[in-house]
Each structure stands twice: as structure tokens, then as C-alpha cells.
Amino acid sequence: MTSGMFSFDQLQFRYEPFPIGMARPLMDAGLYREFVNEFPDVDMFGDLSVVGSKYSLSEKTNRRGYQQLVHTRPVWKELHQWIKSDAFIKDVLQALEERHLELGYKMLSPGRRVVRRISKLAKGHFRSTRGRLGARFEYSMLPVDGGHVLPHTDSPGKIVTIIVSILGDNEWDPAFGGGTDLNRPRNPEYSFNRLNRQGRFEDMEVIDTFDFQPNQAVLFVRTFNSWHSVRPMQGTGSGAMRRSLTINIEERH
């Protein structure tokens, strides 16, 4: 199924201990080159985040620079408009349902709703039988010299996370690492993590890794045990960055 700028035709999942999968290729090669060429420089980002050694640029962090990008650069403007649309959320949920992952969110027909409600729908407020969903994305960078993201499960309001690799041809040395690890706590008492406390690498067993490769998306459903991380990368002395877009579908109140 093709969804706007992305194609989920090649999306394949593993279902235990939580649903996580990969789609590759994710988009047309020409469009992907635009994503790579137009990715923001490091000086547009702020400080490293508390979840690890990661730079973030989003509507929540470094908002001014983010707004400048999504309003002035055509490829990011198009992506922003699409991610904020009901069509994006609907198509992602459909791709999940086709793979036996029904999350219980269904689009409600406007019917006889008041004009104000219809207006909200037109602006991208996806109203479902379980509440209202919205989507957002951030630009992320991790330095390959030790950059990492600590084990966590994502905040309770998130429903789906999509991690899009932004990687030029012949740019990446697999020896850096940088894959998205699927974790299981060594102590089962810590399996339940609905409130998204951070874990430690030494307390986790890595049961699968989705390697960092170009033109792909790692997609997972947020659950009470959706432990994932990026282990410290091994590019000592290198100035290279692990660049990605992180897209979240989440509940809005």
C-alpha cells in the first residue's frame, strides 16, 4: 500500500515481545535523495537530550528552527502537511490492520456534527471511536562517536513510532553500529513499563536489531513492554552523524 510520500508495501513485522517491523525501500529514490540533501545541519539543533546522546529538532525542541524548515523548504513543507493530515494516520492504521494489528481507532463519519467539529477534522484532527489522534515528527541526530539512546518504551500517549533513516550513499560504516535494538529486561519484574522509565543497557537482553540502512523505516506499536534503544556507537574520533526522522502518532486531549 502506498501512503503519500512513503510506501508500506514491503512492511514486515515480528510480533513478539511487541509488534515491530521494517519497510524498505520506503520511498522513491529521487525523493529520498531530497530528504538526505535537505536534512538540517547540526548548528540548527540544540543541546543533547536527556534520553541519551541525541540531538533533536522538532515542534517541541528548538521550535523556531523547526518552523523555519517546514515553512521554507519545499520537501519539508510537503512532509509536514502530509504528516499533519488525517490521510497519513488513516493509511498507517490501515497498513497495521492489514498485518493483523488492529489498534481500535476508527475514523468517525462527520454525519450531523456541528460546523466547528467538521472544521477541526479539515485541519487534521483525526477523531476516532477512542479519542483524537495527531501526528508529529522530529529531526534526530546521534554522533557516531558514542551517541546512543537509552532503553525506554516511549511515553504513554504515543501509539505508533516510525524511525526513518536518512543516510547518503556510501556514507555509513556498519562498524559504527547504530541499529535499533529490540530489548527484553533480564529481570522480568521490569517488563511492565507503561510510564516509560528509562532502563540501563546492562539490564537488557538484545533479542533483535534492525540495522541502520538507507531508505528504510522501523515502525513499532507502543506497548507496556516496547523496550528499544540505540547502543553506544563505535565511531571513535569520527564526526559522522546517525541522522533520522522520528514520526509519532499519539493521542491528543
**Average of pLDDT values for 177-202?**
97
Dmax over CA atoms of the chain, in Å, equals 62
- Cα end-to-end distance, the chain, whole Å: 30
pLDDT digits (tens, 9 = 90+) for 83-110: 999 999 999 999 999 999 999 987 665 5
User: Which pLDDT value is given to residue 52?
Assistant: 57
Tell me the pLDDT band of 48, cut-offs 50, 70 and 90.
low
Q: What is the dihedral of CA 69, 148, 60, 127, to 10 degrees?
A: 100
The string of DSSP codes covering 84-139 is TSHHHHHHHHHHHHTTT---S--BPP-TT--HHHHHHHHTT-EEETTEEEEEEEEE
User: Which pLDDT value is given to residue 250?
Assistant: 95
User: Which pLDDT value is given to residue 121?
Assistant: 44
Quick one: which H or E segment has residue 11?
A: none
Of residues 163, 170, 169, 200, the one with CA closest to residue 185: 200
Grid cell for residue 50: 536527556
The string of DSSP codes covering 177-210 is ---EEEEEESSGGGS--TT-----GGGEEEEEEE
Cβ-Cβ contacts under 8 Å for 234 (sequence gap 6 or more)? 144, 175, 176, 177
Instruction: Let me know: does 22 contact 217? Beta carbons within 8 Å.
Output: yes
Q: Which domains can be identified in the chain, with CATH numbers? A: 2-73+136-252 (2.60.120.620)
Average pLDDT, the chain: 89
User: Which pLDDT value is given to residue 109?
Assistant: 54
User: Which pLDDT value is given to residue 60?
Assistant: 86
pLDDT digits (tens, 9 = 90+) for 5-41: 999 999 999 999 999 999 999 999 999 999 999 999 9
pTM of the complete model beyond 0.85: yes
